[in-house]
Amino acid sequence: MTEFMMHKVKPAVEPENINPATGLVEGTFGVGTYQFKEEAAFPGLVLPNGDVLNLSDRYADTHAIFNDWDNALVWLKEVAAKPDRPAKSLTDLNILPVLAHPNFICAASNYRQHVAEMMTFNKFNQDKRLPGEDDEAFFNRNYEEVDRRGREGTPFFFTGLHSSLCGANDDVPLPLIGEQPDWELELGFILGKGERYVKPENAEDMIAAYVIVNDIGTVDEFKRADIKFNFDWCSKFQPNFKPFGPFAVPKEFVDRKKMQIRLNVNGEKRQDWPAEDMIFGPSQVLSHASERLKLMPGDLFIMGSPPGNGANFGGAWLKEGDVMDSEITYLGRQRNKIVIEETEGKSVTYGAFKTEW
């Protein structure tokens, strides 16, 4: 990262008792969806040592768990405290998305450093660069604009498609459209209740659990010239562009001040940032969303990306054969290989957006 962009933020002081088998802290557990060989998928409770306990005798799936969260959490704690059920190892299971079909709300432009970097280096914003303006001057001007938004603005979010969700270790196919596929590892959370017009001071009561989501997108496809409002987010929701999991961890086990977001590509560090360094925290985003949406148990929110994306590394966009290794403190790990989408000989009709008109 260029020196002028180094707005120093102290890394999180993480808990010491993390079990290397799963990334879970001892004494906690996760909840997710799993499959053994060709058997039916089942909701499972994951212990720190990697044992997975089948919960399908009480809940058909994880949607049913989050729909009944207050009761479910009491029971889950009893199951975790006395794990006398038959267990399978997490390493022997296919890890599916934590939830199959949640409403999906994506907070964006929510980490100062990340937003300023995107505005400085990504293709979609280069029309805002002044004649002769160098990277440092453009970055500093963008950072000031981000700070102003934090003081005077409101949270920003868009809605997503659950068809883009995939398991924590699934391959990510690169589609035919888009030249700049990029990663954005994000803190997510799942609601255990819904409410309208909730105040920020009460909003986090709605959160049931935290989870990892990688918000992959083809960033050259964000801006288009043939519509007046310019931006189009649909290219963020290509198949498998949202690795989700490996499990969700109840919020009472998580201290956000101790969470660090990390992503490596082919073993090289790309993102390494404290999760709590958000412009607008979950309470503000939830309050804002509750004024505009009907929020429901099982809704999935993601909170935006910290810095360290492809444009910062000389346009090091994802390509076939790349491997992303990702983790967020308390919440486990992801590992995703980049492959080429198998199209069976089909080709595009409309192709890339028009970026000049």
Convert the pLDDT of each residue in 227-264 to its tens digit: 877 677 788 999 999 999 999 999 999 999 999 999 99
Domain ranges of the chain: 30-96, 99-340
- Would you call 333 exposed, middle or buried from its count of C-beta atoms within 10 A (0-12, 13-18, 19+)? middle
pLDDT tier for residue 78 given thresholds of 50, 70 and 90: very high
Q: Interior CA angle at 107 toward 130 and 18, to 5°?
A: 115
Convert the pLDDT of each residue in 181-228 to its tens digit: 999 999 999 999 999 999 999 999 999 999 999 999 998 887 788 887
Tell me if 65 sits within 8 A of 33, measured CB to CB: no
CATH topology (fold) of 99-340 = Fumarylacetoacetate hydrolase; domain 2 (3.90.850)
Q: What is the pLDDT of residue 8?
A: 61
> What is this structure's pTM?
0.93
Q: What is the mean pLDDT of the chain?
A: 94
